[in-house]
Amino acid sequence: MRLDLDAYVERRSPIHTWEARCKLVGCMALILAFACVQRLWLLPAMIGVTLIFYSFSRLPLSFLRHRLRYPGLFLLGIVALVPFVSGETVVWQWQQVTVYREGLEAVLLITTRFFSILTVALILVGTTPFLSLLQALRSLGLSPILADMTMLTYRYLYDVTENLATMQTAMQLRGGTELSPAAPRSRWWSRLRHVAALLGTLLIRSYEQSERVYKAMRLRGYGHPATTGAIARSPIPLSSWFTLMGIGAIALSFVVAELCLPQP
């Protein structure tokens, strides 16, 4: 498993230098505005804004291609099905197979919204270090329990994943279950029990490690009121405010166009 969260955060671009709190608010506003869009004539504008935003971020296209792949598979299921089962206006028919206009329009809408929202989300996480994003969330009011849990989970995810891989290898070397569908089917129940024991052991190890981690954190002052008080908020540069206002205006214009303008 490759965990490459901060691969492109060191690059230089106007989006990289945008202050994390403003970037978070601006990107979320744009994402929700894109989710509002139902009218097909707004889709070219949505793609245009997304592409301009992406080009400003100077993130490589390979990053976008790679990250679109997995969620795209789920979408493919809907794209392949909806035109044939949804709608009333027949566009094309051959024996029992019928393609509906409303279904095709729905596919266009879903795909464009998916592409635009995912791209904006990638710009947000691709140009901001994970810890800065967490700090921004914390300063915007995220609970300290949630912030600490996220940070510790991220910190120990690598360790736990390595632990699991080592335990799997050890189990296989001792003649235990091979976790592959190609393995013999006859001992399926015994394999399921072995996997349960493997994951149970992983949970126990993680639990014991958490006890040690908590003691170490306590010794460093964790849980003391002085260390869990209000967090320091650095001032936001004026340029970041202006960028936020610009992005906010774009997001608002999509919402207004969707809600107020008549259908052409």
Partner 1 sequence: MHIPDGILPAQICIGGYALTGLTAWFSLKQINRTPNPSEGVPRAALLTAAFFAASLLRIPLPPASVHFVLNGLLGVVLGYYAFPAILVGLCLQAIMFGHGGLSTFGVNAVIMGIPALVAAALFRSRDRLFPAQAHARWLTGVFAFLAGACGVGLAALLFYSLVILNLPAELNAQAEQAALTTLLVAHVPLTLLEGIFTALLVLFLEKVKPELLNQRRKTHVL
The residue from 14, 35, 44, 246 that contacts partner 1 (CB under 8 A) is: 35
Question: Which residues within the stretch 216-235 sit at the binding site for partner 1 (CB under 8 A)?
Answer: 217, 222-223, 228
Contacts of 80 (CB under 8 A, 6+ apart): none
* Residue 90 backbone class (left: φ over 0; alpha: ψ -120 to 50; beta: rest): beta
The residue from 145, 226, 232, 260 that contacts partner 1 (CB under 8 A) is: 145
Contacts of 195 (CB under 8 A, 6+ apart): 177, 179
Strands (E) across the chain are located at 90-94, 97-100
Closer to partner 1 by CB, 216 or 249: give it.
216
Closer to partner 1 by CB, 74 or 241: give it.
74
Q: How far apart are CA 263 and CA 44, in angstroms?
A: 15
114 touches partner 1 (CB under 8 A): yes
Q: How far apart are CA 262 and CA 252, in angstroms?
A: 17
Question: Which residues within the stretch 80-99 sit at the binding site for partner 1 (CB under 8 A)?
Answer: 82, 85-87
Q: How far apart are CA 23 and CA 36, in angstroms?
A: 20
Q: Which of these, 111, 151, 149, 160, lies nearest to 131 by C-alpha position?
A: 151
166 touches partner 1 (CB under 8 A): no
Structure tokens belonging to residue 118: 């995912």
The residue from 47, 63, 139, 156 that contacts partner 1 (CB under 8 A) is: 156
Query: Which of the stretches 9-17, 53-61, 105-113, 241-249 binds partner 1 when contact is defined by CB under 8 A?
Result: 105-113
121 touches partner 1 (CB under 8 A): yes
53 touches partner 1 (CB under 8 A): no
Closer to partner 1 by CB, 155 or 237: give it.
155
Q: How many chain residues touch partner 1 (CB under 8 A)?
A: 90
The residue from 13, 111, 139, 253 that contacts partner 1 (CB under 8 A) is: 111
Question: Which residues within the stretch 174-203 sit at the binding site for partner 1 (CB under 8 A)?
Answer: 179-181, 183, 185, 188, 191-193, 195-197, 199-203
| Partners of residue 99 on adjacent β-strands | 92
| Burial label, 254 (beta-carbon count in 10 A; 0-12, 13-18, 19+) | buried
The residue from 14, 48, 60, 71 that contacts partner 1 (CB under 8 A) is: 71
